[in-house]
C-alpha cells in the first residue's frame, strides 16, 4: 500500500506565453505508516506535486498511483482515490466554507454517504485527533484563531478517515507550541497506520520526523533519500533558498575545522560527540 509517482511532469498553461514548467520527471514512492516530506524553496513545485496526489491536478506526463490505482482522467477509481488521500491546503481559508465548525467537519463524511447517525461520532473523533476544543463546534470557522482554523481544516479532512494525509506547509504562521502539537499529531497518525506527506520549506522539521525526503528545485528532483543521506547531499551540494538547520551548519563547520563529529541536525548527537555526554 503506497503512493507512487513515476516521471511525473506538469506544465501550467502549455502552448501559451504563460507556459510554466512546474514539475519535470519526478519519481518517488512512500508507504502507509511512513512520513514523506517534500522540501524546496518557494516556486520549486511542492504544491503542484501535492495536488496531483488526490487528483486535484491530473498528470500531463508520467503517472501517479495510489494503492495500485492510477490517478487519471475519467478513472472510476478517482472517487476512491480522493477518499483515500486527504489534502490539507496551505491556507485554511482556502478550505473552510461552512457556517459552523460542526458542518465543516461533517461535510466530507456526509459527502461520502456516511449515514447521518454516524456523523456526530465522526466529527467528535476528528476534532479529538486534531486537538480542537469542543466549544468550537457551533462557532463559525472564520472566527477561530489562526491555530484553531488550521486544526479545523485538518479535522475536516480526518473526518473522512483517509489512508494518507497530504499537508501543504501546515506549520506556516504557527508558533512553536502549535508546531509541536501539529508534529505530535502527525507522528501519532503515522503510528496508527496513516501515510503522511508533508510539504514544507522547513528542512529542520523534515529531517527530524521523515522516513524519507524529496528535495525539489525549480520543478526538478534534486534528491530523494533518507534524512541523513539528504543532509549529506545538501551539505555537499547546497540548494539556493534551502537553509540547513543551525545544528547541521555547526556540525559541518566543526568538521571543516578537523573536529571528529558527525554531520548531524540533532543537538543530542553533536553534544555526545563533543562532550561525551548522553
Ligand atoms: P511551491 O509550492 O514550491 O511554492 P508551486 O507548485 O506553487 O511551488 O509552483 C511551481 C511553479 O508553478 C511556480 O513557478 C509557480 O509560479 C507556477 N504556478 C503554480 N501555480 C500556477 C498556476 N495556477 N498557474 C500558473 N503557474 C503556476
Report how far ligand 1's centroid is from the alpha carbon of 261 (Å).
39
Contact assessment for residue 230 and residue 241, using Cβ atoms and an 8 Å cutoff: no
Alpha carbons 86 and 167: distance in angstroms, whole number: 8
Contact assessment for residue 96 and residue 104, using Cβ atoms and an 8 Å cutoff: yes
Strands laid side by side in the 35-39 sheet: 69-70, 61-66, 2-12, 20-31, 220-225, 212-217, 35-39, 195-200, 164-168, 85-88
pLDDT at residue 276 is higher than 90: no
84 Cα distance to chain centroid = 15
Q: Which mutation among 10, 11, 12 tests ligand 1's pocket best, with the greatest number of atoms within 8 A of CB?
A: 12
Res 278: pLDDT: 64
Report how far ligand 1's centroid is from the alpha carbon of 64 (Å).
19
Average pLDDT of the residues of the chain: 93
Res 277: pLDDT: 67
Torsion of CA 157, 162, 168, 169, to 10 degrees: 80
Contact assessment for residue 220 and residue 25, using Cβ atoms and an 8 Å cutoff: yes
Q: Is 258 left (phi over 0), alpha (psi -120 to 50) or beta?
A: left
Contact assessment for residue 40 and residue 46, using Cβ atoms and an 8 Å cutoff: yes
Report how far ligand 1's centroid is from the alpha carbon of 200 (Å).
14
- Return the bridge partners of 224, or none: 214
* H/E stretch holding 75: none
The model carries a pTM of 0.93
Note the pLDDT tens digit of each residue in 196-240.
999 998 999 999 999 999 999 999 999 999 999 999 999 999 999
Summarize the confidence of residues 104-115 as an average pLDDT.
92
Interacting residues of 33 by C-beta distance below 8 A, sequence separation 6+: 190, 191, 193, 194, 195
pLDDT at residue 75 is higher than 80: no
Q: Output the nine-digit C-alpha cell for 225.
A: 533519500
Note the pLDDT tens digit of each residue in 15-41.
999 999 999 999 999 999 999 999 999
Q: What is the largest CA-CA distance in the chain?
A: 66
pLDDT at residue 103 is higher than 70: yes
Q: Is 13 left (phi over 0), alpha (psi -120 to 50) or beta?
A: left
Q: Is the CB of 26 under 6 A from ligand 1?
A: no
Q: Which atom of ligand 1 is nearest to the CA of 199?
A: 2
Note the pLDDT tens digit of each residue in 49-72.
999 998 999 999 999 999 999 998
Note the pLDDT tens digit of each residue in 185-199.
999 999 999 999 999
Q: Which mutation among 10, 20, 88, 220 tests ligand 1's pocket best, with the greatest number of atoms within 8 A of CB?
A: 20
> What does each C-alpha distance from 233 to 35, 41, 53, 214, 256 come to in angstroms?
20, 16, 26, 12, 16
Summarize the confidence of residues 105-125 as an average pLDDT.
93
Res 175: pLDDT: 83
Summarize the confidence of residues 146-153 as an average pLDDT.
89
Amino acid at each position: 500500500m503506497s503512493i507512487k509517482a513515476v516521471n511525473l511532469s506538469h506544465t501550467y498553461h502549455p502552448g501559451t506565453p504563460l507556459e510554466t514548467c512546474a514539475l519535470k520527471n519526478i519519481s518517488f514512492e512512500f508507504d502507509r505508516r511512513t512520513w514523506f516530506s517534500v522540501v524546496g524553496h518557494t516556486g520549486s513545485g511542492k504544491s503542484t506535486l501535492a495536488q496531483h496526489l488526490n487528483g486535484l491536478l491530473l498528470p500531463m506526463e508520467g503517472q501517479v498511483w495510489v494503492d495500485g490505482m492510477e490517478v487519471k482522467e475519467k478513472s472510476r477509481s478517482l472517487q476512491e482515490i480522493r477518499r483515500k488521500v486527504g489534502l490539507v491546503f496551505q491556507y485554511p481559508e482556502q478550505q473552510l466554507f461552512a457556517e459552523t465548525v460542526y458542518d465543516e467537519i461533517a461535510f466530507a463524511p456526509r459527502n461520502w454517504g456516511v449515514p447521518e447517525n454516524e456523523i456526530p461520532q465522526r466529527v467528535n473523533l476528528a476534532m479529538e485527533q486534531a486537538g480542537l476544543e469542543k466549544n468550537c463546534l457551533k462557532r463559525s470557522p472564520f472566527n477561530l484563531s489562526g491555530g484553531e482554523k488550521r486544526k479545523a481544516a485538518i479535522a475536516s479532512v480526518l473526518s473522512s478517515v483517509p489512508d494518507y494525509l497530504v499537508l501543504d506547509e501546515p506549520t506556516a504562521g504557527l508558533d512553536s507550541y502549535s508546531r509541536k502539537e501539529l508534529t505530535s499529531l502527525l507522528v501519532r497518525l503515522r503510528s496508527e497506520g496513516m501515510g503522511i506527506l508533508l510539504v514544507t520549506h522547513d528542512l529542520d522539521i523534515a529531517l527530524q520526523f521523515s522516513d524519507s525526503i524529496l528535495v525539489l528545485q525549480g520543478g526538478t528532483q534534486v534528491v530523494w533519500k533518507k534524512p541523513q543521506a539528504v543532509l549529506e547531499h545538501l551539505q555537499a551540494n547546497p540548494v539556493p533558498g534551502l537553509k540547513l538547520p543551525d545544528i547541521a551548519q555547526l556540525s559541518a563547520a566543526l568538521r571543516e575545522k578537523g573536529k571528529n563529529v558527525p554531520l548531524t541536525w540533532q543537538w543530542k548527537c553533536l553534544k555526545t560527540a563533543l562532550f561525551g555526554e548522553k
